[in-house]
Amino acid sequence: MEANYSMHQTNPETLISAFLDKFIRNEHISINMPTTVKVSDEILKTIPTINEDAIQGLIELGAKQMRIEEALAIFKEGKISIWRASRIAGLPLREMIAQASARGFKPFFDDEMIAEELG
């Protein structure tokens, strides 16, 4: 399923919410943003080639990181298990545990999560 959004037709909060919703479900998203994005010279120096593929890669990497951060925020609130957070973030459980540990979170394991992992 492909979703198309235009910055001229959608308020930014709705756009971000819809984008994250589609991204979490791994659906293809196409956004038409006729806008200028300011990037510091320091960051530009770290990007070897500025082209459509590089920009797409940066957006995908940023969106993936946003998904991880959102899943960890919900996990930190105690609303979901680390297993569920890993599924929301699209990461293997071990990698999500490492992400949580790197931020000082202590993942908890419940019987349901263990049963799910053991299949």
Read off the pLDDT band of 19 (50, 70, 90): low
DSSP state letter for 10: S
More confident site: 67 or 27: 67
Domain spans of the chain, in order of start: 1-35, 39-118
Q: What is the pLDDT of residues 65-97, one digit of tens each?
A: 999 999 999 999 888 888 899 999 999 999 999
Q: What is the pLDDT of residues 38-73, one digit of tens each?
A: 878 887 788 777 777 877 888 888 889 999 999 999
Which residue(s) pair with 32 in the sheet?
Answer: 6
Residue whose entry in the numeric block shows the structure tokens 């999560």: 113
Read off the pLDDT band of 110 (50, 70, 90): low
Q: Which two three-digit tokens encode residue 55?
A: 């920009």
Amino acid at 77: E
Give whole-number Cα distances, 60 to 26, 28, 76, 81, in Å: 11, 11, 24, 25
